Amino acid sequence: MNRKEQKLRTEAESTWCPGCPNHLVLESTKKAIGEKIENGEMNREDISIATGIGCHGKMFDYLNLGGVYTLHGRVLPTCLGMKIGNPNLEVIGFGGDGDTYSEGMSHFVHAARYNPDITMMVHNNQVFALTTGQATPVSEKGFTSKAQPKGTPHQPLNPLKLAISLDASFVARVYPKKMQHMKETLKKAMDHKGFAFIDIAFPCLIYNNKQEFLERNIYELEENGHDPTDEIKALEKAREWDYNTGKDKKQDVPVGVIYKKEKETLSDKRPKLKELKEKNKAWWQTKR
Ligand SMILES: Cc1ncc(C[n+]2csc(CCOP(=O)(O)OP(=O)(O)O)c2C)c(N)n1
Ligand code: SF4
């Protein structure tokens, strides 16, 4: 761990379950940001984060960065507010799948439309984990819990397909055990100008353990010659996994950048934000 990564640690004791993939998400995030700081691309003070409420939300406790530990479902409007308030900030949101695709769904749709220059990571364990295992909109059909003893009858929503059809300008999936790949994908998302969305596919070891399924079916798009600028190919890739574990059929779970497009950002569309960015830049630089 380099000096910059150490500065991103807090003294808070982790309350995640031992072995929870959230630990790996945290480490990859620290590495990605640590490397960017080390390379002189940004300072710790240039980054602002927002997290939802859930197991994923504890990222706020363990990352020594400014921001807002916000309400369940409200990560994206909080990120948007921070970005509008100071367009020079590098804003990163961390949400749960319950958080983002249930209560927060309308924000997700409009963030893709507005295209603010922010990064959104969704810790997608396909379950409301902190509230002990209820089905979310991405839980697989037939998923049982105390709240759904007969199994949810609904097909899971495919957030990647949705994001591409909303014309989100950067759409990716990562798997936390592929730490190097996850770190590099996060860096690409931070470099992207516009709304960069990353769905983190991972098992909740307690309430939805699909580790064996994921390990068996995951492959890296970068090794497959995928062209993320081809929208039709991107949709085909997004369709490969329908978020069921497909006990009867072969499923492929692609990870990496699925779709990427250059598109006007929110600041491009709002000249006042551009002005504010320039005006604040000088002030911001004196504060470093
Ligand atoms: C406005 C609001 N609605 C609901 C809740 C209850 N709640 C807290 S955590 C949580 C589950 C979080 O699940 P998810 O977002 O998938 O995150 P995970 O725990 O799986 O990381 C819920 C429903 C809340 N705290 N606030
Ligand atoms: S309940 Fe699941 S998501 Fe929450 S800390 Fe434990 S393993 Fe991780």
Q: Which ligand is nearest to the CA of 54?
A: 1
Does 277 have pLDDT greater than 90?
no
Q: Ligand 1: distance of its center to the CA of 288 in Å?
A: 36
Band of pLDDT at residue 244, cut at 50, 70 and 90: very high
| Element at 66 (helix H, strand E) | strand 66-69
Residue 97 CA: which ligand 1 atom is closest?
Answer: 16
pLDDT recorded at residue 2:
64
**Neighbouring-strand partners of residue 197:** 120, 171
Mean pLDDT throughout 85-96? 96
Atom of ligand 1 minimally distant from the CA of 136: 16
Candidate of 62, 99, 124, 138 to mutate for ligand 1, largest count of ligand atoms within 8 Å of Cβ: 99
The predicted pLDDT at position 216 comes to 93
Residue 195: its pLDDT value, please? 98
pLDDT tens, residue by residue, 214-235:
999 999 999 989 999 999 999 9
For residue 247, pLDDT over 70 is answered with no
* Spatial CB neighbours of 72, under 8 Å, sequence gap ≥ 6: 52, 53, 54, 98, 99, 103, 104
Query: How far is residue 287's CA from residue 188's CA, in Å, rounded to a whole number?
Result: 27
Q: Which residue of 94, 200, 207 sits with most ligand 2 atoms within 8 Å of its CB, as the best mutation to test the pocket?
A: 207
Tell me the CA–centroid distance for residue 203 and ligand 2, in Å: 8
Q: Which residues contact 188 (CB under 8 A, 6 or more apart)?
A: 170, 172, 196, 257
Task: Please state the domain extents for the chain.
Answer: 20-286
How far apart CA 165 and CA 113 sit, in angstroms, is 10
pLDDT in tens, 105-151: 999 999 999 999 999 999 999 999 999 999 999 999 999 999 999 99
pLDDT tens digits, one per residue of 33-73: 999 999 999 999 999 999 999 999 999 999 999 999 999 99
The dihedral formed by the CA atoms of 170, 171, 176 and 181, expressed in degrees to the nearest 10? -60
Beta bridge partners of 49: 67, 92
Q: How many CB atoms lie within 10 A of CB 178?
A: 17
Proximal ligand: closest to the CA of 96: 1
Q: Is the CB of 20 under 6 A from ligand 2?
A: yes
3 pLDDT tier (thresholds 50, 70, 90):
low
- Looking at per-residue pLDDT, the higher value among 206 and 250 belongs to 206
- Mean pLDDT of all residues in the chain? 95
Q: Decide if pLDDT at 253 tops 90.
A: yes
What's the predicted TM-score (pTM) here? 0.96
Q: What span, in angstroms and rounded, lies between the C-alpha atoms of 272 and 257? A: 31
Q: Is 105 in the pocket of ligand 2 (CB under 6 A)?
A: no
pLDDT at residue number 22: 98
What digits encode the pLDDT tens for the residues 170-203? 999 999 999 999 999 999 999 999 999 999 999 9
Instruction: Decide if pLDDT at 1 tops 90.
Output: no
Tell me what percent of the residues of the chain surpass a pLDDT of 90. 89
Tell me the CATH architecture of domain 20-286: 3-Layer(aba) Sandwich (3.40)
Neighbours of 114 (CB within 10 A): 17
Whole-number Å distance, alpha carbon 129 to ligand 2 midpoint, is 6
- Which of 13, 22, 97, 99 most suits a substitution to test ligand 2, by most atoms within 8 Å of the C-beta? 22
